[in-house]
Copies of this chain bind each other. A is one copy, B any other.
């Protein structure tokens, strides 16, 4: 049995998404900036997807900037504000559990003379709005806090955090790549000035993402890719028409029933895995956790060995996040919630998709038990 439980890394493109994209490869292939009717058809398709995405987050269509993906969106948001508002201040606030696209960008900005505060999180990965409030200074120009954490599934209370930013008049950005369509993203209620999204995490194509840019910020954001006037002068380059069409279709196919289904599978999987000896759940339980995320530390053994053991049984999972999966340093997210390196080394991320079944989950539970038992039997660390 093949079971894919790495939807946090990427998802299969829905057949209906591919069907929607297909004509834009071979029939409506014009450049959306071209003035002839073919160009207009392409531009209309972009406009329709822009509206679909905007509606899904309570934004206006003209507040959506399409990009090549979540990492580019994060970079555009953080550097865009840093360079665009540098005359107002040089202080940025983020957390220790951000996606590398935010974290590495902040580290780069530090080397350029910006000051960055990395807020601590509690043992479940939550940022305290009071701590955020106290850390905002006169020269703070940006707060960037991930919505649904890509490793441990923690869903921040964006509304409370956004309120703090609003009260103190600081631009608020959130990486909502993992949370979009899985829990509510409402840029108005949550006080967001900027938010990052990605298509391939929600059964859309790779290579497409978006940045929500609140109307009043469009003039102050410095663009990252210079050239033509595409995407409201915020992102030059020929628009990826089929990709954007597929993205819109993927957004339109998201359903609350998928979330409910994943929550049930998630709870079953987590509960069963935690019955194994010497296991710990990383991240919170319940509604404050992404519907599709289970992250468990198996003590005394290596995550990579578990991953390979499961792979041999046809089961695809991650150690840490896929984005850093080829690095050997322990997860910065697990470190931030207080996990010791020896525990975080044995952690596995299972990320569900809407098409996973109960049978698959049963198979995974049995298989993990077998793999973990075998590895522990071989392990020199078991006392």
Q: Which residues of A contact B (CB under 8 A)?
A: 4, 6, 9-13, 15, 18, 22, 25-27, 29-31, 33-39, 67-72, 74-75, 99-101, 104-105, 107-108, 198, 200, 205-208, 224-229, 236-243, 304, 307-308, 310-311, 316-319, 322-327
Contact = CB atoms under 8 A, between A and B. Distances in A.
B6 A36 contact: yes
A360 to B, nearest CB: 15
Q: Sort A-B residue pairs by CB-CB distance and give the 3 closest, nearest first.
A: A207-B240, A68-B68, A101-B227
Given A224-B224, A241-B206, A34 B18 contact: no
Number of this chain's copies in the assembly equals 2
B31 A228 contact: no
Nearest to A76: B225
A18 B68 CA distance: 19
B237 A68 contact: yes
A74 B318 CA distance: 34
Contacts of A242: 205-207
Contacts of A18: 22, 25-26
Nearest to A316: B36
A34 B6 contact: yes
A304 B39 CA distance: 14
Contacts of A226: 71, 75, 100-101, 104-105, 107-108
A346 to B, nearest CB: 15
A123 B238 CA distance: 29
B205 A25 contact: yes
A71 B238 contact: yes
A305 to B, nearest CB: 11
Given A12-B26, A207-B208, A227-B99, A200 B71 contact: no
A240 B13 CA distance: 12
